[in-house]
Amino acid sequence: MVSILNTIDTGHEDMIHDAEVDYYGLRLATCSSDNSIKIYDIKNGAHMLLEDLKGHFGPVWQIAWGHPKFGNLLASCSYDRKVIIWKEQQGKWSKYYEYANHDSSVNSVQFAPPAYGLILACGSSDGCISVLTYQSETNTWEAKKIQNAHAIGCNAISWSPSITPEPAFDNHQPQTLTKRLVSGGCDNLVKIWREDGDRWVEESKLEVHSDWVRDVAWAPSIGLSRHIIASCSQDRRVIIWTSEDCQTWNSSVMHTFDDVVWNVSWSLNGNILAVSGGDNKVTLWKQNLEGNWQCISDVVKGQGQISGDQRAL
């Protein structure tokens, strides 16, 4: 069973497009078609509006919290072609950095795992992916652009986890971490990008979806040296991609839904996947010991309850 911690009437004047809770689970940020971003304190079941951020001139599609070791950061992206990084300083949120070098709506933002430093990736409908790196020496953001990552447009991006149990630990040398990104776009492709020196190169191109890819999510490693990516698409399918070495990827269709699928999200343990889509339903999926994916719960809107079976152990 899953219990409700909190129900928040956000008071947004239009549809909500994304919501995320921060690293510690204490604050909730939401964004909406009314061009605003709201931040709530949800500690102990409270819901107090902390801030109403206005700075975008179009619907805000997605938001992402930064790791607290860099301060309280929130990134947002919008139809107005801008990415804004907001920072809390002395209890006040303000614009920290604005990136406006995309030619079309920016659809996805995500901060890199903190081990890589303060890095933000964003994907836009102009087909490009930008990787913004904070340079603490000069207090500036350096932008690298992957041109034409997806024909027509990039809809989603996700970073690979930084802590993976790869056999490089034993020699006490500080490990050089390979940064990887996964992206999905209107060309029906899922692509894996690897940072190679100062460039980003396309490592793999995964071609199974038959319509626009709407979301991708790279799972946190769950203790097996294996990479897992979930992708969902307009073709109503969720596909799970697995790989041992990031070179060859195997795909399996997790499920075909009744309507388009918009959203996939892994739990921190990497064993449960939350899926939502155009049919207004949220479902949770888990792999059983035989390797099949099972729906363990269903959130029916309005009921506010998730009925699921017991924890699996």
Partner 1 sequence: MAVRWSSEFYTAMEHKDLQANAMAVDNTGTYVLLAGRRYIAIKNLDDTDLENVRKFPRQSKYDVSAAEWNPISHQSELCVISSNQRLEVLTWRLGELTQMHSLRAHTRVITDLNWHQSNPNLLASCSVDTFIHIWDMRDPRRPASSLSAIAEASQVRWNRISSNLLATAHDGDVKLWDQRKGSAPVQYIAAHLSKIYGLDWSQQSETQLATSSQDNTIKFFDTNNPRKAEFVLTTNAPVWRARYTPFGNGLVTVVVPQLRRGENSLFLWNTTSRATPVHTFVGHRDVVLEFEWRKQRPGENDFQLVTWSKDQTLLVWRIEPFLQKLCGHDPDNHGKAERMHNEITDVSSEKKVASKIQPLQQEFSLLNVQIPNLEVLKMDAIRRSCTVLANTNNFSVILNVTFPNSYPNGVPPIFQIGEGSSVDETIAGKLIQTLTTTAQQRVSKNRTCLEPCLRQFVVTLEQLVDPSDGSRHHQPVYLESDVLGSFNDACIPFPRTSGAKFCSVSVLVCFTRQSPARRASVKIDSTTPRALSALGNAFNSRRANEYMTVYSYYLQKQRSRIKQNNRVLQKTVITVYDAADLFSVNKQLAEKYILDGDTSKICRHNALMAESIGRWDLVQAWSLARLIVNPQQVEQEDMLEHPFGNQLIQSLINFYATHSDLQMAAMLCCVFGKGEDENVRRKSFLKYLSSGQLASGKKWLKSGGSPYHTIPPADVVADGWVFPLLRTTRSNSLDNLRMEELPQLIPQRTSTSTLYEYYKLAYAEILHRWGLLYNRAEVLKYLSAPGEIHKGVEFLTDCQKCKQPARGSSCLNCKQLSLECVVCHISVRGSANCCLVCGHGGHTKHMQQWFEENNVCPTGCGCKCLLETIGMFNF
Subset of 255-294 contacting partner 1 (CB under 8 A): 259-260, 262-263, 265-272, 274-282, 284
Q: Which is nearer to partner 1, 11 or 252 (CB)?
A: 11
The answer to whether residue 51 forms part of the interface with partner 1 (CB under 8 A) is: no
The answer to whether residue 132 forms part of the interface with partner 1 (CB under 8 A) is: no
The answer to whether residue 8 forms part of the interface with partner 1 (CB under 8 A) is: yes
DSSP structure string for 265-309: EE-TTSSEEEEEETTS-EEEEEE-TTS-EEEEEEE-TTT--EEE-
Among 46, 48, 49, 54, binds partner 1 (CB under 8 A): 54
Question: Tokens for 293?
Answer: 């994916």
CA pair distance 42, 112, nearest whole angstrom: 25
Minimal distance, residue 247 CB to partner 1, in Å? 20
Binding segment for partner 1 among 137-145, 195-203, 245-253, 296-304 (CB under 8 A)?
A: 296-304
Question: Tokens for 42?
Answer: 């949800």
Among candidates 281, 300, 299, 285, which has minimal Cα distance to 253? 285
The answer to whether residue 46 forms part of the interface with partner 1 (CB under 8 A) is: no
Minimal distance, residue 61 CB to partner 1, in Å? 7
The answer to whether residue 48 forms part of the interface with partner 1 (CB under 8 A) is: no
Binders of partner 1 in range 164-183 (CB under 8 A): 164-170, 172
Cβ distance 242 to 249 under 8 Å?
yes
Rg value, the chain, Cα: 19
